[in-house]
Each structure stands twice: as C-alpha cells, then as structure tokens.
Structure 1
Amino acid sequence: MSDLHTEHVLLTPGPTPIHPRAMRALTRSMLGHMDPEVFALNREIQADLRVMYGTEPEAFTALLAGTGSLGMEAGFANLVESGDEVLVCANGSFGRRMAEMAARYGAKVRLVTAPLGEAIKPQDVAAHLNDDVQMVAVVHGETSTGVLNPVPEIAELVRQSGALFTVDAVTTAGMEPFKMQEWGVDYAYTGAQKCLSAPPGLAPVAVSERAFARFSARRSPTPLWYCDLGGLRDYWIEHTYHHTVPVNLHFAFHAALRAALEEGLENRQRRVREMGRVITRTLEPLGFSHYVRKPEDRLPTVLALRLPEGFDDAGVRKALREREISVTGGLGPTAGVIWRLGLMGESARPQPYRRLMTELADLLGEPDLVERYESILKEETRELVTF
C-alpha cells in the first residue's frame, strides 16, 4: 500500500469529489434563508442554471432541498395527474424508477424498453406515441449501465406529439451538451453532487414556460407540498416564505456552478472524453473492455467497463477501499460483471486515476500499469483545464 497519499479518492458514479471553491463556500458563516444576500445569491444561481441547461430566457430554475431523486419525483408530482398517460423510456434502474414514481402519482404508465447496455431506439418511442400521451420521460445518461440515450432525437418526436418532455440529466447536465430550449425539453433535473462536484443535498431543476402553464392548469392540488411549483416560485421569485432552504449548500453550489461555467462546458466535455480514452486504453491489456457495445451509446461521464474473466470484483474493490479508493461495481443484473467509473466534475482529472493505477498495479502485480497510464495520458490529452 502506498503511503504517499491519505486523502480518500472517490471514483464512483456519484457523489463526486467536492470542488475546492465549493468546499470553501460551505464553511462560510450562516445567513438566514430570507436574507437579502441569499436572495441575491439565488438570482445568480437561477441565471447560471439557465446557461447550464440552455433554457428559454424566462424558464423557471431553482434548487430543491434534496438529491436528484427529489428532482425526479417533483416533476411527476407537479406535472402528472391521476389518469394521465405517461410514456417512460426504461433501459436501466433509473428509467424503472421513473416509471414507479409516475405510477405512484396515478399515471397510466407505458414503457419503451431496451436491453441493458443498449440505448433506447427513437423508432420504438414513435411506435408508442399517440394523442393520448401527456408526458414522455427519459433518462439522458443511465447511470446503472453507462448508456447515453438519444435525447435530441426523442425530443423531436415528442415535440411533434404535443406531450410534455421530462429528462433526467443527473449524469449529463454540466458536463455533456444539454440544450433544453433547442431540443424542446419541458422539465429537467440533476443532482448537485454529480457533474458539478458540489455537496449532495440539492436538486437543480429547470421548468419550461409550457410546463409551468400545464402545472397552473392542474385539476387538483399538487400532492407533494414540499416541492409544489407554486410555492417554490413564491420563494425564488416573490421572496415569500415557503420552507427553510439549506443556505450553505446554496453558497457551495453557486461556487461549483460558477467554476464549471468559467471552465467552459465545451472544455469539460472534452476532458471527460479524453480521460475516458486514457483509462480504457490503460486497462484494456488487463482484459477490461467496454460494456456498451456501440460507441455512440456510451455515456462519457460513467465509464462502464466489463471485468476480465475470473476477476475478483468484490475482493479488489474491498482492497482498494482499504487503500482509501472507492470504485463502484455493477447494479442489479450487472453486479460482478462491470465496474462503473465516475468521470464527472472533479473526478475527471488525471490525478485521481493515477492513484487508482498505482494501487491496482500493486494489487494485481502489474508493475507497468502506471507507466502505461502516464504514456497514454500524454498521448491522448491536450491541455486539461485546471480551474
């Protein structure tokens, strides 16, 4: 075991290492949630979220006081009523979670599915769309399998149908192209602890004007009071009391989001792809391979690698954890089959994966692993931005 490092290395599909600027902001002195400085901060957060999501100018953006799953649930609670027909694209654990949540709010759920490791096919969505469908929901980046679903192509179909379009952007927004207005997305959400490397506990959401109009025309009150869009709007825009927001998490999130925008979303997209190629090429000689067969279906921010035959998944991950490194295995049917390596935010940097290669070299008896990593890193990467 190397004794050169003591800081824990987090290489999971979330949470991600906290950005240094967010860590500093987290420890500032407390202010009240109705303080003018907090309202000013919130306005800046809303404006920055519109940039990150690529929304229309007047889209409502906010932070929900919960993780990404609250963002998911708030969409169905506000925009779905009992009896509505909802078409859910499910090719992994989080698509299935969408379907379960929609059903709990009384929706008549229809599924469009794809095998694990494969993207949803737009033609399958088209085959299920009709005038009765009020909402289509899809996970952009399916964290459980490392699959990137073709949201722009699905969005075009939904736009023609007139249904609302909900997108889970938990492992894409802030790191991958996301063009809410251009694509025609009506509701999107992520988690603060994913691509932006802020502390867990906030779900940044964006709501189109069309979706807000649908909410305003509801036949019954929103069943989830805590995340009722009307109450949230009153706090975020009218500055009236709704609930106590986690103020210091807002400050930390603001710092992390600003850091991402200053780095530039295109630069972030570039470095995640570069790091993905470096890691894959380094591990391929050991027998690791891409779990997602088609390159266009691979989610850059969650690198899903099939394990070598005979590889001791649980044993190696346990040994890594004892050396202060966390990596994540498969979920459900892919347990023991794949590793899911996080490449979001601050984890998509050379140093954390250099540490992984150093410890793997020792554990697996592969002394050339670090040298190979350094050589490929130099070959593959251009100037990685270090904001």
Structure 2
Amino acid sequence: MKLFTVGPTQMRQEILDVRHQQVPYFRTTEFSKIMLDSDRLMKKFMNAPESYKSIYLTASGTGALEATIMNCMNENDHALIINGGTFGQRFVDLCKLHEIPYTEIKLDNNEELTGEHFLKVDNDNYTFVIANIDETSTAQLYDINLLKSFAKKHNAYLVIDAISSFLIDPYDMAGNNIDVTILSSQKGLCIAPGLSPVVISERLYEERVKHNNIKNLYFDFNQYIKNFLRGQTPFTPAVGVCYEMNKALHLIEAEGYENYLTRIDSVAKDFREKIKDLPISIPEFTLSNAVTPIRFEKPIAREVFSILKDKYDIFVNPTGGENEDYVLRIAHIGDTNVEDNTMLVELLKKVIEELA
C-alpha cells in the first residue's frame, strides 16, 4: 500500500516502529516529560512563545475546531469566516450551531482570496477572524498577510486552522499575530489520527479562555491548561499517538526544520512539473505544498481513484461535491519522494489512456 493522501499519510518506518510498541501507562513522570518535550518542539517550529497555552485533545480536527469556538467565543462576538471549501464551511456550521454571529467570505471553485474580498465586508466590527490557512478541499493557501492585517485593523483575534499546513508550509504564529493555532496529528505531523493540539496566545487566554466557564466537561480548555503544567491531560489521551508525535518532532529537529520544509516543497514542485504533459490541469491560485488538486478533462476522477486503489494499491484523495467526477487530490507529505512521483505519474498516464 502506498498513500498519496493528506491524512492519514504514508508513515515513516521510524514512526511505525513506535506504533508497534506496547502502549505504556501514562500517569507517570516519564510520560509527562515526553509531552513537555513535544510541546517545546511544537512551539519552536511554529514560533510560539513559551507563555502560549497548549491543549492536547484526543479528538479529530473537527473536535478541536468546535472546542476552540466553545472556549474562545460567545454570542456577543462577531466572526469573519473565510469559507473557501469543505473546511471553511465547517467553521460556518459550528458558528451556526453555537449561535455565534458571523459574516462569511464565500469563495467559488478556483476563486482566489484577495484584498478585494475584505473590502466588501469591511463595514462592521469583528472580534474574530477565522480561516483554514490551507483549505484542504481545494489546496488553496491563503495569504496570511491579508488575514493578519484585517484582524489587526479590527483588533480581532486571529484563529487559524493549520491542520494541513503546519510542518508543510512556513508558519509563524507570533510573527503573524495568530491567537489560535489548531492542528491534528494525521496531517502535517504525519502520524496516526486521534490527537489534536491547540495552541492559544497569552492575550486570548488572559482575556477570554481564563474567565470562560463553558458547560462542557471534556472540552474545557482551562482543565487542559491546568493539567499540562505537569505535562498531563485531564482525561486519557491517545497515548500511543503522543509517543509517535514525540518521535516525529525529533525526526524533524534532526533533519532541520527548514530542510524538512524544503524537502516537501521540492516534492510538490516535482510532481506539478511531471504532470504538465498529462490531460489534466491545476488551479492558478497559490497552492499549499501539502497537496495538488488535479482536474481531468473528462468526468473520470472516481474511476481513476478506484483503479489506483483496486489494481495498484495506491491511494489518493477523492473530492466530494460538484467536483467529485473531475478532481483528485495528490498529497506530497509523509514518506513519499520524487521517485514515488515518477511512479504515480506513469500510472496516471496509463490509467487515463485506458479510460480514453
């Protein structure tokens, strides 16, 4: 099996070696040291000061999105949401559910987020600006300068879902005045699903989270922050995934953070170069290095996906909605390289010819 998927990803052997070990008991000083060590590296790579608060949820990324809204926002807020696809819509759905007033910038397929979009909604007071910095369903990488400038103008908190961008594209939490960074283990960390870290700025913690009294036991950030002072979580964490996280972060540190990002960038660029002669196209807007959406000229995407899976044991990401017959998404993270790109592109060419 070979995964060219954005999550779960093709895991490195070093991570698989950790995964195959006995999961240890976790209410120990040894486990606490592992968690605090992971948190140190996580904050180092995202440029988050030590004073920023970390929450490690045993949940999917959507659980972390919802927990963030519950702990940081209330009905007196007004959020600006960038809705450019499936995951932007998820923020909209969550704000509706929790009765948080919002305005959305709704992007059409292949529409790039620009400063013009912000001018059209710059007639109200906002307390939060919310975006998936890489809208994974389209692979568009939003311009962080547009987001942080608008948030600063309104003195709003900036919430970034970086699940499929952190440890893939350059990311600077403090430098870009980001108040919340939301992550999930199966994407940029390239480990198993089940763990979703959230990092909160000191400003947001002191002004909102610290004084918030939400009616929820499991997702109460204050309990996680209190327990993490000793490197623990209030409830049983995904212990095995926590050990995988520590190993993954140390592998990145050993390679060098900049070298790690450069390698992913080179794999993404190599794939995009190699598909130029195929009867497919890719969007013109800025893409994350995480994934390349390829659009076929004919409605064969689902057939290509099935043939790759069933005949060659190769998995790529399908796309839902109106694009499901035309678009597949090819990930460039995890244990893949330019040689794997060559193999995949040759298979894509073969399958397309078979379906012609």
1:355 paired residue number: 343
User: Which residue does the alignment assign to 2:121?
Assistant: 128
CA contact (8 A) 1:34 1:241 kept: no
- Tell me the distance in 2 between the aligned counterparts of 1:364 and 1:336: 14
RMSD of Structure 2 on Structure 1 (CA): 2.1
8 Å contact 1:85–1:135 — kept in the other structure? Answer: yes
Q: Are 2:320 and 1:331 aligned?
A: yes
The gaps in structure 2 that reach 5 residues or longer are: none
Q: Is the CA contact 1:197–1:345 (under 8 Å) kept in the aligned structure 2? A: yes
> 2:4 — aligned with what?
11
What is residue 53 of structure 1 aligned with on the other side?
Answer: 46
Q: In structure 2, what residue type is equivalent to 1:81?
A: N
Residues 1:310 and 2:303 are matched in the alignment? no
Report the AA paired with residue 65 of structure 1. T
**Offset of 1:54 from its aligned partner?**
1.2
Aligned positions of 1:153-168 closer than 5 A: 153-168=146-161
Aligned to 2:332: 343
Query: Which residue matches 2:272?
Result: 280
- Which of residues 134, 143, 146 in structure 1 aligns to 2:136? 143
Moved over 6 A (4+): none
Residue-by-residue CA offset, 1:61-104 (whole Å, 9 max, x unaligned): 23211121122112101101123211111111111101111222
**AA matched with 2:309:** R
Q: How many percent identity over aligned positions? A: 20
**Would you say the 8 A contact 2:4–2:314 is kept in 1?**
yes
Do the aligned partners of 1:165 and 1:185 also contact (CA within 8 Å) in 2? yes
Aligned to 1:256: 248
Tell me, what secondary structure is at the counterpart of 2:351?
A: helix
Q: Secondary structure at the match of 1:227?
A: coil
- Superposition deviation, residue 357 in structure 1: 3.4
Describe how 1:227-238 pairs up with structure 2 within 5 A.
Answer: 227-238=219-230
Cα deviation for residue 226 of structure 1 reads 1.3
Looking at structure 1, the residues matched to 195 and 50 of structure 2 have their Cα atoms a distance apart, in angstroms, of 23
- Cα deviation, 1:278-333, whole Å, max 9, x if unaligned, reads 2223222121121x223xx22221101111x2362222221111121011232212
Where 2:175 maps in the other structure, the secondary structure is helix
Tell whether the 8 Å contact from 1:140 to 1:148 is kept in structure 2 after alignment. Answer: yes
How do residues 137-286 of structure 1 correspond to structure 2 at under 5 angstroms? 137-216=130-209, 218=211, 221-238=213-230, 242-286=234-278
Instruction: Please tell me whether the aligned partners of residues 224 and 233 of structure 2 are also in contact (alpha carbons under 8 angstroms).
Output: no
Paired residues of 1:126 and 1:157 also in contact (CA < 8 A) = no
The number of equivalent residue pairs is 353
Residue 362 of structure 1 and its aligned partner are, at CA, apart by 4.4
